[in-house]
Amino acid sequence: MATPVAKIFAVFVRQISRPIANRVKHAAASKESYNTALARFGKLSFRFENKLNAFLMGSKAPTSVPSKKDSIERGAEVVGETFIFVVAVGVTITEFTWSKNRAARKEAEKESRIYQQLDKTQESIKSVTTIVESLNKELINLRTQVEQFRNENQELKLKLEKKK
């Protein structure tokens, strides 16, 4: 999940996209060079909406054509709404990417901690192994000494018995 600052930024961008879209819409509608394109967008939007409504209602689509002014207004509306949609998609993709990167970072940190713990455990095992080997050597040395003491003890017993 994104940080609160990122969330606030995303909401801010979404909020300012509407006024920007309105400015884009009015700027495009006020320029003669864009009027033809806006009129085409408007007519396409009108036709698509009428065909969709007719399909959903199970009737025939009306054949009326909007005026050039209405087509330009509708085209400008399509441009504005498209701008808002593109901004919303961009913000959503950015939030997803941030969230994904944050999750990947957390996973990498977790993996790093696991490897560090594994290294510590391996060092502990080596240390314990060294201690066990040292104790085994000492045990062998002690057994040898015990065996020597037994032998000496046996010899002393024999000498004592002979003296008796």
pLDDT score at 1 = 46
Q: Is residue 119 helix, strand or coil?
A: helix
d(CA 65, CA 62): 9
pLDDT at residue 115, rounded to an integer: 95
Query: d(Cα 73, Cα 67) in Å, to the nearest integer?
Result: 10
Amino acid 39: pLDDT:
85
Q: What tokens appear for 94 in the block?
A: 């950015």
8 Å CB contact between 17 and 83: yes
Centre a 10 Å sphere on the Cβ of residue 35 and count the other Cβ atoms it contains.
19
Mark the ranges of the chain whose per-residue pLDDT is less than 70. Answer: 1-3, 29, 61, 164
